[in-house]
Structure 1
Amino acid sequence: MKNSRTHYWGYLFLFVPLLLQLIFFFIPLFQGAYFSMTDWSGLTRDWNFIGLENFVRAFSDARFINSLKFTALYTLVLIMGEIVIGIAGALLLNQKIPGRGFFRTTYFFPAVLSTITIGLIFSQIFNYGLPQVGRLLDIEFLQQNLLANPVTAPYAVSFVGLWQGVAMPIIIFLAGIQSIPREIIEAAEIDGANKSEVFRHIMLPHLLPSISIVFILALKSGVTAFDSIMALTGGGPQNVTMSLGLLVYNAAFSNNDVGYANAVAMILFIIILVISLIQMYLTNRSTNK
């Protein structure tokens, strides 16, 4: 009788997360897919089914193309930066250096701040702090507001995202490095392998699962970026920092074009799904060799 009750409790604990997943993920997903093929404004209960017109409109819309380009740049910076800087930071923090405990604590500080807070802080830094430093040091490049320049704004916004986003990858890579059996590294060093060879042939293969996790997390952060960009630039200047997430927001709540906003969101969902599946396939193939 006791085992039977335990059995039912197990099903209950399984049912609750499945129910929440259904309510907050699958139902909104299918609703969004349906409304992406309508002309619903979001203000009335009336709409017309228009098929794939919103998707055709998106790929002929200059705003969508520009948002897609910026989102691709932003995501690429996050992925490459979080992987490279994350591994480098993990290797450094794995060494016996003075103040290692202090650095292991302080580097994680950006991750505990909200993205809105970081966006507002860096907005002031770019508006007032850096131009003042540029004037004091007579550096012409820094004397301007980098967020106000259409050429530098995408890279300034990407830097802010990377500054906050690199903390968690360092933890993931540090855990991956510390999970490598020390005996393997010592055996390679005895056989004459230098640090570069140990990293390439021992550490890097063991870190592939960690790289896969960081890749997916950075991909998600990049393609769904919204709040930090909203706080920094609002998509400007000249819409050069308009992310896909911000485009969805503006279409739905500023232009009352919910059908089009859902179409862009579905395109975004498909992009994330396809890239994630390809990346997981390549990672599994590499680890199974």
Structure 2
Amino acid sequence: MSMRRSGLVYFMFTLPALLLYLAFFFYPAISGFFYSFTNWDGISKVYKFVGIKNYIDIMKDTRFLHALRFTLYYTMIDVIVKLLLALILAMLLSSNIKLRGLIRSVYFFPAVLSLLTVGLIFNQMFYAVLPRIGESLGIELLSRNILANKDTAVYGIILTNIWQGISIPMVIFMAGLSSVPKDLHEAATIDGASPFQRFFSITLPFLIPMLNVNLVLAIKGALTVFDYIVAMTDGGPAQATESIGYLIYRHGMNEMKFGYGTAESIYIFLMVGIISIIQIKVLNRKEAGQQ
């Protein structure tokens, strides 16, 4: 088979995936960018081109700014706690402990559940289960539904996300730990290096590529949080847990401001992209073998 014919065969195999990508990702992304410069309501065939008015109004919108503050606060706590716990669990499950395979399966089980399902389950736990346990044990902190308090609702959502989302970064960290040369640890141990010194000087530099992947996934997931909000708080109480992702949904689907909501999604797209590029560039300098 000639090189040209072989290339044509390979192209034909990739053509269905390419067409699906163009139809369901590329075209919606381009059309969405266009509609962000209009006042389209999402249904009518008539709309007006308003230029950058939507983008200017968004930066003056107190509701958007409140959602932005909530989303950034949620992202900061969720990402730090989730990745820290995932790294600790990965190190524990990479050691020689009994029933290691079973424990790994147990910790990975939440990853196969849908976010909406997990949110509904935890909503009932916070609403009915934990308050009864708290009342029976005389623990005031547990006797109240934390989702009903605007000051504590965010922590209930974070706890739910950590329980469900810790397994994927844990598995990625475990894959990275398997690539760390054991002879370097043995040599450092002989030289009298403490466990903390070995971790920061040997283990962590080899985990930078995995940390990059986990950070991008965790930040993207936290900045676009939606399912948990819908299932657990519906943006309440008093819009205290209204994330940007949920606000975009409300503007586009409930309030018929499709063009305005699309402009908000462009802001999120740029935010995720800029943060990801900066953290990748910073962490790559710490990677093993890099100067």
- TM-score, normalised to structure 2's length? 0.95
In the TM superposition, 1:50-89 aligns within 5 A as: 50-89=50-89
Asked if the contact 2:120–2:232 (Cα under 8 Å) also holds between the matched residues in 1, the reply is: yes
Q: Distance in 1 between matches of 2:95 and 2:115?
A: 30
Change (3 A) 1:205 1:28: same
Structure 1 contact 87–173 (Cα < 8 Å) conserved = yes
Once the two structures are TM-superposed, the CA of residue 11 in structure 1 deviates from its matched residue by: 2.8
In structure 2, the partner of 1:257 is: 257
The superposition leaves residues 181-207 of structure 1 with CA deviations (integer Å, 9 ceiling, x where unpaired) of 212211211222221111110000100
2:162 is paired with a residue whose SS is: helix
Distance 2:10 2:189 in 1: 49
Checking the alignment, whether the CA contact within 8 Å between 1:176 and 1:207 is kept in structure 2 is yes
The CA distance in 1 between the partners of 2:37 and 2:8, in whole Å, is: 42
Match of 1:170 in 2: 170
Instruction: Check if 1:234 corresponds to 2:238.
Output: no
For 1:1-289, list aligned pairs within 5 A: 1-287=1-287, 288-289=290-291
Q: Contact 1:134/1:141 (CA < 8 Å) preserved in 2? A: yes
**1:86, 1:166 within 8 Å by CA — same for their partners in 2?**
yes
| CA deviation vs aligned residue, 1:68-118 (integer Å, no higher than 9, x gap) | 111112211221122211110011001111221211110011111111110
What amino acid is aligned across from residue 51 of structure 1 in structure 2? G
Kindly indicate whether the alpha-carbon contact (under 8 Å) linking 2:39 and 2:48 is maintained by their aligned counterparts in 1. yes
CA deviation digits over 1:223-256, x for unaligned, max 9? 1111121000111101111111111111111111
Cα separation, 2, equivalents of 1:5 and 1:69:
55
Distance, in Å, in 1 between the alignment partners of 2:36 and 2:7 is 42
CA contact (8 A) 1:224 1:245 kept: yes
1:15 Cα deviation after fit: 4.1
1:42-61 Cα deviation digits (max 9, x unpaired)? 12100011111111221221
Q: Which moved more, 1:58-67 or 1:245-254?
A: 58-67
Task: Name the Cα RMSD after superposition.
Answer: 1.4
Instruction: Name the CA distance, whole Å, in 1 between partners of 2:272 and 2:252.
Output: 21
Say which SS state the counterpart of residue 225 (structure 1) adopts.
coil
Offset, 1:24: 2.2
SS for the counterpart of 1:141 is: coil
Question: Structure 1: any 5+ residue segments left out of the alignment?
Answer: none
Alignment partners' CA distance in 2, 1:69 and 1:9:
51
Q: SS of the residue aligned with 2:119?
A: helix
Q: Taking every aligned residue pair, what percent have the same amino acid on both sides? A: 39
What SS does structure 1 have at the residue aligned with 2:116? Answer: helix
Secondary structure at the counterpart of residue 31 of structure 1: helix
Structure 2 unaligned residues grouped into runs of 5+? none
Is the Cα–Cα contact under 8 Å of residues 37 and 53 in structure 1 kept in the other structure?
Answer: yes
Query: Could you tell me how far apart the structure 2 residues matched to 1:269 and 1:16 are?
Result: 27
User: 1:78·1:165 contact (CA, 8 Å) conserved in 2?
Assistant: no
Distance 2:24 2:280 in 1: 25
Code of the aligned partner of 2:60: S
Given that residues 67 and 242 in structure 2 are in contact (C-alpha distance below 8 angstroms), is that contact kept between their aligned partners in structure 1?
A: yes
In 1, Cα distance between the equivalents of 2:96 and 2:285?
35
Compute the displacement of 1:36 (Å): 0.9
Asked if structure 2 preserves the Cα contact closer than 8 Å seen for 1:235 and 1:246, the reply is yes
The question of whether the paired residues in 2 share the 8 Å contact of 1:40 and 1:46 is answered with yes
Q: Distance in 2 between matches of 1:13 and 1:228?
A: 38
Deviations 1:108-139 (A, max 9, x none): 11111111110110010000111111111211
8 A contact 1:82–1:214 mirrored in 2: no
**Aligned length in residues:** 289
Bigger Cα displacement from structure 2, 123-132 vs 69-78: 69-78
Q: TM-score scaled to structure 1, two decimals?
A: 0.96
Report the Cα offset of residue 14 of structure 1. Answer: 4.3
